[in-house]
Chain A
Amino acid sequence: AQSVTQLGSHVSVSEGALVLLRCNYSSSVPPYLFWYVQYPNQGLQLLLKYTSAATLVKGINGFEAEFKKSETSFHLTKPSAHMSDAAEYFCAVTGKNNNNDMRFGAGTRLTVKP
């Protein structure tokens, strides 16, 4: 079975600073990897996904993530944080041959300070 671990339940950055949210995965089969964002009292919205094409994936709102097989990582970055980026972020994984079993990390709450 696959799983993801998000390092850091809370991350705080200043507006304009680099955002780095960490995700490591464990999978016995080639994975699909995702980052979702959740704003307060809303559902999850897809930021970006990795499905074995390019290892550097660009998403919405200026976010991107790089799939590194050697490090089993899929960290999310944004060069310059905006106040509107404050939300909870979830990393998720499925196996290519069993993508009904999506496993989520515990989430990282991003705070952006003015």
Chain B
Amino acid sequence: NAGVTQTPKFRILKIGQSMTLQCTQDMNHNYMYWYRQDPGMGLKLIYYSVGAGITDKGEVPNGYNVSRSTTEDFPLRLELAAPSQTSVYFCASRTGFAEQYFGPGTRLTVT
């Protein structure tokens, strides 16, 4: 199993541009999550999904959108990128058990 994979690894965006961060898991997990990690701040939940077709907001959803058309994929969309969205983004998934499995992250810079 590859586990949780994320693309791209790095990206630089200009203010106002849009992009999609990709996340795929091959563990048949129902639950998937998007976090952002800012220095000294830990991880904050952006959006999550409990299964295909079902998504919900987390702690910091503004400026982002998600969709979940399949069990495997959970893309995160940034519309009108802003400098405040400069961060490292992590995707994670889990089964019915409690722990989450994390991808390697996408480092995004908005200038």
Contacts and interface: CB of A to CB of B under 8 A. Distances in A.
Interface of A: 9, 32, 34, 36, 41-46, 49, 51, 90, 94, 99-102, 104-107
Given A94-B98, A107-B40, A102 B104 contact: no
Interface stretch (B12-20, B42-50, B67-75, B77-85): B42-50
B43 A43 contact: no
Contacts of A106: 40-42
Interface of B: 4, 31, 33, 40-45, 48, 50, 56, 58-59, 90, 92, 98-105
B98 to A, nearest CB: 5
Contact of A49 (B41, B58, B98, B104): B98
A101 B99 contact: no
Interface of A is mostly: strand
Contacts, number: 50
B90 A43 contact: yes
Contacts of B42: 90, 104-107
A44 B99 contact: no
Given A104-B42, A104-B43, A43 B50 contact: no
